Structure 1
Amino acid sequence: MFLEPIDFASMYREHKATTDFKGKTNTDWDEKSKDMAASVINSPYVNDFISHMKLTGDEVVLDIGCGPGTLAVPLAKLVKEVIAIDFSAQMLEELKAYAAREGVTNIKTYHIGWEDDWSHLPPIDIVVASRSMEVSDIDAALAKMSGHASKACYLTYKVGGSFVDMNILDYIGKKVKTKPDYWYIPILLYSKGYLPRVDYIETGRGSVRAGNEEEFVESLIWSVHELNDEQKVKAREYYRDVIVGQNHPPRAVNWAFISWECAQ
């Protein structure tokens, strides 16, 4: 593929280990579950994701990092069964409540994550990982997805190396080491003999919430883990002068939609 071999799997692991954008714990997501459920359910992103999938209606779908059922519940209306897994117990409770409201009964939930044993899961046709690929070893995660899918895999991964608009970080003086970008994924899949397809989902909204000044600052802290007092002052200034004063909301997030066939 290249003049000299390049170990992209190791490169990703090293890059991921140094980034300031660290993965959240199950406790973090437990606390975020109710707020997240309200903000992501029935979003345009869901229709965009599902529209990129090839479905016949008789599939069993594994949803990794299912969250509050953002994809699991709409997918369950289109397929035979959804197996929904998440390492946040509270996210699974939100999913069950959402499914009950929608009258959906063909979802099975498992309180497990990427690092757990999946051998007890039933046979799977399609595996999806929607905005849940913040793993330390992307090569192992992709292998795990491919190994459990008899037909195809679909995932989304953030475009760009920051969950926060870099204009905001530059303004408040927050220096960050960016995270790995999505191009590791198609390269690693191609090296394993797959022919991945890459498309994009444009959300039209930023990952940092900016409904009001407090929400903006709290959302920034959630994304970058911490801000010092001076950075908090600058963040409030940015909200007032740029977001409100110039009517310039945070830059919209785009997601790479990556798919590959796994015929066995």
Structure 2
Amino acid sequence: MFLDPIDFASMYKKHKSSTIFKGKKSEDWDKKSKEMAPRMQKSSYVEDFISRMDISEDDTVLDIGCGPGTLAIPLAKMVKEVVAIDFSAQMLQELQAYAKREGITNIKTHLIGWDDDWSHLPQVDIAVASRSMEVIDIEKALQKMSSQAKKASYLTYKTGGSFVDMEILDFIGKKIITKPDFWYIPLLLYKDGYFPYIDYIPTKDGSVKYSSAEEFVTSLIWSIGSLDEIQQQKAREYYKLHVKENNAPKPSMWAFIAWSSHKQEMIGCKLSSYN
């Protein structure tokens, strides 16, 4: 194949190591779990993701990086069983509390992440990874995901190479090295013999609100890692000019990528329509 001489896996690793956007540790997500859980659990993104899947009530699902149950809970209402894994203990506690409120009993949780041993996990019909693939070795992650699912896999990955709107970064004078964009994923899948399907999900992440300029600055630092004093002051100025009165984030665009577990086979997905 014409792609064979190109080592996309190594290109991704090199790009990932150079970007300003570094992966968060489990304790980082532990601290954010209570704050993030309500809006993640009620986001319209959930329906957009699930509506693109081909699932049945007899299916079993592996939810990788499940967070507070964003997909695991609604999927559990539609399928036989969900196996939910995450490396944040607090996120799993939020999921378990959410499941109890919803009367869900067909979810099994495991405190493990992408780099851990999955040999004790059961084979499932479908694997999903919703906004959870910020990994160092994307090729290994995709292979683990594919090998776990008997029917199909579905994931989402941020487009554009930045978790922060470039307009904001330009305004505050923050120069960044973008993170790897989603195109590495379909290229690696195609090289491995799969025919990936690609769609897009725009989202404003539910009810994200900033009650003050300081909260806005804190959110930027969470995503970027650091801002100097001048950049923080410019961020406060941006908040007053563009966020305070129109307190809603611009839509983020997520690439939705799906593939059949059977190589050289097309996957059945539902076509989307959005404004």
Please give the TM-score of this superposition, normalised by the length of structure 2: 0.91
Asked if 1:87 corresponds to 2:87, the answer is yes
Structure 1, 17-26 or 249-258: larger mean CA deviation? 249-258
- How far is the alpha carbon of 1:248 from its aligned partner? 8.1
1:82-231 equivalences under 5 Å are 82-204=82-204, 210-231=210-231
Match of 2:41 in 1: 41
Deviations 1:119-176 (A, max 9, x none): 0011211100000000001111000000111000000000110000011111111111
1:24-35 equivalences under 5 Å are 24-35=24-35
1:51-62 equivalences under 5 Å are 51-62=51-62
- How far is the alpha carbon of 1:205 from its aligned partner? 5.3
Matched position secondary structure for 1:163: coil
- How far is the alpha carbon of 1:43 from its aligned partner? 1.0
- Which consecutive aligned stretches of 4+ in structure 1 deviate over 2 angstroms post-superposition? 1-4, 204-212, 242-245, 247-251
The answer to whether the 8 A contact 1:127-1:154 is kept is yes
Match of 1:235 in 2: 235
The answer to whether the 8 A contact 2:59-2:126 is kept is yes
Matched position secondary structure for 1:99: helix
The answer to whether the 8 A contact 1:61-1:82 is kept is yes
Rounded to whole Å, the distance in 2 between the matches of 1:14 and 1:50 is: 33
Structure 1, 99-108 or 119-128: larger mean CA deviation? 119-128
Structure 1, 59-68 or 250-259: larger mean CA deviation? 250-259
Rounded to whole Å, the distance in 2 between the matches of 1:97 and 1:13 is: 36
Q: What RMSD over aligned residues (CA atoms) do the two structures have, in Å?
A: 1.8
Rounded to whole Å, the distance in 1 between the matches of 2:4 and 2:241 is: 50
Rounded to whole Å, the distance in 1 between the matches of 2:142 and 2:218 is: 32
Rounded to whole Å, the distance in 2 between the matches of 1:3 and 1:55 is: 32
Match of 2:252 in 1: 253
Rounded to whole Å, the distance in 2 between the matches of 1:98 and 1:205 is: 18
Deviations 1:75-130 (A, max 9, x none): 00000000000000010000000000000000000000000000001121110000
- The 1:173/1:209 distance shift into structure 2, 3 A limit, reads farther
Matched position secondary structure for 2:230: helix
- How far is the alpha carbon of 1:250 from its aligned partner? 4.1
- The 1:208/1:234 distance shift into structure 2, 3 A limit, reads farther
Matched position secondary structure for 1:125: strand
Aligned residues: 263
- How far is the alpha carbon of 1:252 from its aligned partner? 1.6
In structure 1, the gaps of 5 or more residues are none
Match of 1:8 in 2: 8
Deviations 1:21-52 (A, max 9, x none): 00000000000001110111121100010001
- How far is the alpha carbon of 1:210 from its aligned partner? 3.3
- The 1:67/1:142 distance shift into structure 2, 3 A limit, reads same
Rounded to whole Å, the distance in 2 between the matches of 1:147 and 1:4 is: 22
Rounded to whole Å, the distance in 1 between the matches of 2:247 and 2:60 is: 43
- How far is the alpha carbon of 1:57 from its aligned partner? 1.0
Rounded to whole Å, the distance in 2 between the matches of 1:59 and 1:96 is: 21
Please give the TM-score of this superposition, normalised by the length of structure 1: 0.95
Asked if 1:50 corresponds to 2:50, the answer is yes
Rounded to whole Å, the distance in 2 between the matches of 1:127 and 1:261 is: 11
